[in-house]
């Protein structure tokens, strides 16, 4: 020890000071040759990143309840009640939602009633005992996954952990021999599932193999979540386990609404109904929000007489979820023939048209863009302003370390009419920005603040700001602008943006 200290001392004494600092500089440059900003932790797992990029996808509640008219079957329904009036067509489901701009979908393959929409070996309560040939031929996970792959869409399954039919529910045997095996069986239809939806509704009254009664479980321990996650990830490495699985969080309501301030970080003991909508700035885990909402006016399952919400209302939901750093999983129930009814098809098409019309033509691409500061480039990459308009999610504009505010200005040779501003952070580096504002100018010199009633706090993966401040009446005549500026007023570390869009 003494010897080491002595040699350190001698080295320090003999080594010329400039030589030592040069060495240190060289080492630092070697450690970070691209001058990349350091992450602000927690950061998303690679599978959470891919999941977030799915942004907007469908939920399809179809099953025993479609034929009984219930929302929560008790588990004692006779299998013969499942009797589709035609061959269910998951490809039609996905084609319709793809036309509305969705990138994928999640099919319910077992709801709380325990009836399985594929020929499982784990229970007799499945399609093979259904009431007609159409029913007996059903295999939703197989057909849904195959159609998604053909259409280039993402797919996943809702498989209810709670099973009101199983006699084993409440025991370890259920978790091991029924539930985990069912999850494993689903992998035979595809291992590239992007999400498994593990519903938070768990335990209560049910049929339970004829014993009937109430079975309560402690959902924080019962499903052996670490083992569940390992088991699923071993076969489906990109599959995010929503809800009980703890890799994405419920937004806390079923209204298609996320908080204007919405952090993707959370603590394990958070209360969904209270802070699901907002997340926690200093949360310990990356736990991004997903908003589940109905596109129709009745239940999650199909009910005779139901009607879809208007395209305007659905567009509002889009702004209030995808536009607020959450993903939107929008439910459209297939009917008794196993297809999406014409009224829903039209409403979704209307929604898709609004998204395309209002957010499809990015005026930022024809602007001259400048920033108050640009980070020093690295050996082969730069962090310049064009990184925000190049359409490449892997490039981003950045400031130097130590800077936590900046101004980005977009100018057009001719006046433009603008309605929305879209901002995206490269969240692989953590969610950083905590306050910003947007202003427009008609002459390039005097500025007016827009969306002043909106909390312009977090951005996250994506934020869409209606400049008139209203998501329900967001498409008015728009503002004529010669220039628009985004001022980042506070950030947890140097701010980064991978996109600025203006519509
Ligand atoms: C809830 C369930 O209880 C509903 O039936 C539905 O599946 C919804 C998406 O999640 O927790």
The reply to whether ligand 1 has any atom less than 6 angstroms from the CB of 299 is no
Q: What are phi and psi of 139, to 5 degrees?
A: -150, 90
User: Do 491 and 412 contact (CB within 8 A), yes or no?
Assistant: no
Task: Name the residue of 68, 199, 330, 331 whose CB sits within 8 Å of the most ligand 1 atoms, as the mutation to test its pocket.
Answer: 199
Contact 201 CB / ligand 1 (< 6 Å): yes
Closest CA to 41 of 435, 465, 428: 428
Show the low-confidence residues of the chain (pLDDT under 50): 1-20
Neighbours of 274 (CB within 10 A): 9
Residue 306 to residue 302: CA distance in whole angstroms: 7
**What is the pLDDT at residue 65?**
98
pLDDT in tens, 443-480: 999 999 999 999 999 999 999 999 999 999 777 779 99
- Residue 55: both structure tokens together: 């942004």
User: Is 391:437 a contact under the CB 8 Å cutoff?
Assistant: no
| Cβ-based neighbours of 48, under 8 Å, separated by 6 or more | 240, 247, 248, 286, 288
User: Looking at ligand 1, which atom is closest to the CA of residue 108?
Assistant: 7
Q: Is the CB of 199 under 6 A from ligand 1?
A: yes
pLDDT at 71: 98
Percent of the chain with pLDDT strictly greater than 70:
94
Query: What single DSSP character describes residue 328?
Result: E
d(CA 491, CA 40) in angstroms, rounded, equals 10
Q: Quick check: CB of 70 below 6 Å from ligand 1?
A: no
Residue owning the nearest CA to atom 10 of ligand 1: 199
Label residues 35-58 b or e (16+ Cβ within 10 Å = b): bebeebebbbeebbbebbebbbbb
pLDDT score for 220: 87
Does this model's pTM top 0.85? My answer is yes
Cβ count near 227 (within 10 Å) = 12
Q: Give the pair of three-digit tokens for residue 284.
A: 């310990």
Ligand 1: centre distance to CA 366 (Å): 44
**What gap in Å lies between CA 162 and CA 170, rounded to an integer?**
9
Q: Tell whether ligand 1 has an atom less than 6 A from the beta carbon of residue 250.
A: no
pLDDT value of position 474: 72
- Amino acid 30: pLDDT: 65
């Amino acid at each position: 020890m003494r010897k080491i200290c002595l040699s350190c001392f001698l080295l320090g004494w003999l080594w010329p000071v400039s030589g030592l600092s040069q060495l240190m500089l060289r080492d630092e440059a070697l450690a970070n040759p691209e001058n990349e900003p350091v992450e602000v932790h927690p950061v998303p797992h690679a599978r959470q990143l891919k999941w977030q990029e799915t942004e907007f996808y469908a939920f399809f509640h179809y099953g025993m309840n479609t034929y009984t008219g219930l929302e929560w079957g008790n588990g004692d329904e006779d299998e013969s009640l499942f009797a589709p009036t035609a061959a269910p067509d998951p490809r039609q489901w996905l084609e319709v939602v793809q036309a509305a701009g969705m990138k994928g979908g999640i099919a319910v393959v077992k709801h709380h009633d325990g009836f399985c929409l594929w020929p499982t070996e784990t229970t007799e309560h499945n399609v093979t005992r259904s009431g007609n040939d159409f029913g007996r031929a059903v295999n939703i996970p197989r057909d849904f996954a195959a159609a998604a792959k053909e259409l280039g869409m993402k797919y996943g399954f809702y498989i209810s952990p709670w099973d009101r039919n199983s006699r084993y529910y409440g025991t370890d045997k259920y978790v091991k021999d029924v539930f985990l095996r069912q999850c494993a069986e689903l992998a035979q239809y595809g291992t590239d599932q992007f999400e498994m939806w593990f519903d938070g509704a768990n335990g209560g009254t049910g049929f339970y193999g004829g014993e009937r009664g109430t079975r309560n479980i402690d959902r924080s321990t019962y499903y052996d979540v670490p083992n569940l996650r390992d088991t699923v990830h071993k076969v489906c490495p990109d599959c995010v386990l929503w809800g009980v699985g703890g890799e994405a969080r419920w937004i806390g309501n079923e209204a298609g609404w996320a908080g204007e301030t919405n952090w993707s970080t959370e603590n394990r003991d958070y209360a969904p109904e209270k802070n699901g909508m907002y997340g926690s700035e200093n949360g310990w885990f990356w736990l991004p929000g997903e908003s589940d909402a109905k596109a129709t006016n009745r239940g999650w399952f199909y009910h005779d007489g139901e009607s879809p919400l208007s395209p305007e209302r659905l567009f509002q939901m889009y702004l209030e979820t995808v536009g607020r750093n959450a993903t939107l999983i929008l439910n459209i129930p297939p009917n008794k023939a196993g297809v999406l009814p014409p009224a829903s098809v039209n409403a979704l098409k209307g929604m898709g048209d609004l998204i395309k019309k209002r957010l499809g033509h990015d005026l930022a691409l024809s602007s001259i863009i400048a920033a108050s500061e640009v980070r020093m480039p690295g050996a082969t990459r730069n962090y310049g302003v064009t990184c925000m308009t190049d359409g490449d999610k892997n490039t981003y504009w950045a400031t130097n370390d130590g800077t936590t505010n900046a101004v980005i200005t977009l100018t057009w040779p001719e006046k433009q009419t603008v309605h929305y501003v879209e901002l995206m952070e490269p969240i692989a580096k953590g969610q950083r920005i905590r306050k910003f504002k947007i202003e427009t100018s008609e002459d390039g010199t005097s500025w007016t603040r827009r969306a002043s009633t909106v909390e312009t706090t977090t951005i996250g993966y994506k934020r869409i700001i209606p400049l008139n401040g209203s998501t329900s009446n967001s498409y008015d005549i728009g503002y004529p602008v010669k220039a628009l500026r985004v001022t980042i007023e506070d950030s947890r570390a140097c701010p980064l943006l991978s996109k600025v869009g203006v519509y």
